[in-house]
Amino acid sequence: MDRYQRRWAVTKRKRSTDCRQLFSRLSEYLDGEMPPGLCEELRAHLDRCTSCEAFAGTLKRIVDLCRALPPLSLSDDVRAELKSVLAHREHRGNMFRALGSFQ
Ligand SMILES: [Zn+2]
């Protein structure tokens, strides 16, 4: 491996680590719940990483579409089961932390 290949491998590994960290905090960013300093850091990452920029854009469109849907009317059984699943998921961490662990 020559000097350029080594440098590329290090850059690629660093980028992958940055991407995983971004995945774990992306829901906070989209919900406007991220601390300002970290928000700037994340925006800087999105400016230089086309993969994360594309993923964040797609996720934002999905979130916007879901928010535009009319509210659902759930039966008591489904409501209770959903609360149970969400409580269990909250205990284990959110979906994006889980996604980050598979990178
Ligand atoms: Zn990235």
| Residue ranges making up the domain that contains 53 | 3-69
Mean pLDDT throughout 19-25? 84
Assign 95 to helix, strand or coil.
helix
Do both 65 and 83 map to the same domain?
A: no
Instruction: Measure 51 CA to ligand 1 centroid, in angstroms.
Output: 6
Q: How many domains does the chain have?
A: 2
- What percent of the chain shows pLDDT beyond 90? 25
HSE (side-chain half, CA atoms, 13 Å) at 89: 12
Of 65, 62, 52, whose CA–CA distance to 25 is shortest? Answer: 52
pLDDT band at 100 (very low <50, low <70, confident <90, very high): very low
Asked if residue 44 and residue 29 are part of one domain, the reply reads yes
CA of 52 relative to ligand 1 center, distance in Å: 4
Q: Are residues 24 and 11 in the same domain?
A: yes
Torsion, Cα 73 76 81 83, to 10 degrees, reads 70
Query: Which amino acid type is present at position 54?
Result: A
**Rounded-to-10 torsion of CA 14, 30, 43, 33:** -100
**Distance, CA 73 to ligand 1 centroid (Å)?**
38
User: Over 80: is that where the pLDDT of 14 sits?
Assistant: no
Q: Are residues 56 and 85 in the same domain?
A: no
CA of 38 to the centre of ligand 1 (A): 15
Q: Are residues 50 and 81 in the same domain?
A: no
